[in-house]
Amino acid sequence: MRSLLVIFTVFILPFCNGFCAPEHQQTIILSEIQKSIQDDFGLQGEMRPITVKKEEELVVTPAKKKQVPTRGELFVKRKKEENRKRLALLRGNKGAKGLSGKEKVELMLKRNREKIKAMKAKKKNNRTSSRPKRLSIDSVRAWEKKSLKRVSSWEEEKMKLLKKWEIDQKRFLGMIPVYKENLVDIEADFASAQREVPPHKEAKPPRRILKQVKLSVFDDVHMVKGAFFSEVKDQGRRPTCAAFAGTRALEIVLAQNGRDRNLSEQYFYWSSKPKCQRSPCSKQGSWVLSGYRTSQKSSGFDIPSGDNCHYNPKAVGGNTTQIPLTSSCNQGVAKVDSFYQVDTLNQVLNALKNNHPVVGGFKLSKNFYRNKGYVFLNHKSAGGSLDGHAAGHAILLVGHMLLPKKLHRSEGRYCLIAANSWGIGWGKGGHACLSEKWLQKYRYSVPFIAVNGVKSI
């Protein structure tokens, strides 16, 4: 029983070396979010209809027997063809020219017997070599010990990560008043956004049919590829949430193409505020559209790395963009290539399914700040009203999860996985799932932006 348990555990758990890799962080974050929802709402697996492609059902349709020859018929047909070729060869072979018909038949039968004998010998050898080798007790115990060590290592790394979240959560809770003060109205040029952002084209869904199967509580989860390339960052004491959401979207798209880039939020915030670039100003807040548009029109790489253009988490009074920027902020390493506008929930879901991160603007409810990895509209933690300090806050959407049927009426069918910019102490590792109905009520009146193309040196 112990060995079976080890085998099962080894194959379902990912492992960490030194620190959890992106896919392992994703596994832990999603499992913690799902566990919170499942425990708080008492959810269990249930029978549920799902959709499958029509073609998948057509594949299993049995063919008519008369259209598929049996193995015996194929063997006889192949042997007849071989015999015809051999007889034709004997007729044209000078060495067999003087043979009678009976002698030719005997020669052919002899060759067939030799071939059958060789086939049986080969089959016997294959059967012997395919037998599994018996493992010694010592080798089995060594494998078991190694497997237990790997499982133990995984559990140790997971506990380290959860402890790290817990430590940062204490810092985050003390910073909540600061984050509230830095919630400001999101600036947006609605007219130019509608004209310049290409409309989203939804792909025509394939023909599907319903099928009843028993599923787990959370069976339909999709995360944008590269979404967990690194930990979420902390914007500190500045109203730069849009800059953090915007640059992380670019970093994710670069990560999808094998480019590990840490882009500068300091520069992108400055780039997103054209009226505060030449002289100091105190106007707070920004939106990603202006920064994306400026970068897209740039003749070269304009967005520098975070190492060359450091972000200052402390605010400077009367100088929101903290100009002049250092000369190293002119060393661009990336530029925006393409992005588009998404408005409806279906458009957002399609963008995420296509692995395009989506930047959205929201006003915040009271339960947004202290949550267990999910933010729902009608749960007892919601508080029932908009937070009095909340203005606008930009968040990056990086995935979606189908909620259990029990929650569809109160929260909608989906919740969207969001990456915040308040460090890893918020939610679960800096992430939380926003329910469909919460999103519809608290979304800000600006178009959401999906990123699908970034160039880099």
For residue range 309-332, list pLDDT tens digits in order: 999 999 999 999 999 999 999 999
Average pLDDT over residues 232-257: 96
Angle at 148 between CA 145 and CA 151, to 5 degrees: 155
Q: What is the pLDDT of residue 183?
A: 87
Q: What is the pLDDT of residue 142?
A: 80
Q: Which of 2-6, 75-79, 167-171, 203-207 has the lowest mean pLDDT?
A: 2-6
pLDDT of residue 84: 74
Encoding tokens for residue 23? Answer: 């896919």
Q: Which residues contact 334 (CB under 8 A, 6 or more apart)?
A: 250, 254, 261, 263, 301, 303, 454, 455, 456, 457
Please give the Cα distance from 273 to 190 (Å, whole number): 15
Least confident window among 1-10, 82-91, 127-136: 1-10
Cα–Cα distance between 365 and 374 in angstroms, integer? 12
Round the average pLDDT of the chain to a whole number and report it. 81
- In this prediction the pTM is 0.71
Report which DSSP code applies to 19.
B
What is the rounded CA–CA span in Å between residue 182 and residue 235?
10
pLDDT for the residue 195: 46
> In degrees rounded to 5, what are phi and psi of residue 19?
-145, 155
pLDDT in tens, 359-379: 999 999 999 999 999 999 987
pLDDT at 249 over 90: yes
User: 3.90.228.20, 3.30.450.20, 3.30.1180.10, 3.90.70.10: which CATH number matches 20-46+152-456?
Assistant: 3.90.70.10
**What residues contact 226, with CB distance under 8 A and at least 6 apart?**
22, 252, 253, 254, 255, 256, 355
Query: What is the maximal distance between C-alpha atoms in the chain?
Result: 112
User: DSSP letter at 2?
Assistant: H
CA torsion 171→260→434→362, rounded to 10°? 80
The answer, yes or no, to whether residue 105 has pLDDT greater than 70, is yes
Q: What is the number of other CB atoms lying within 10 angstroms of the CB of residue 82? A: 14
Alpha helices by DSSP H, 257-413: 265-271, 288-297, 345-353, 408-411
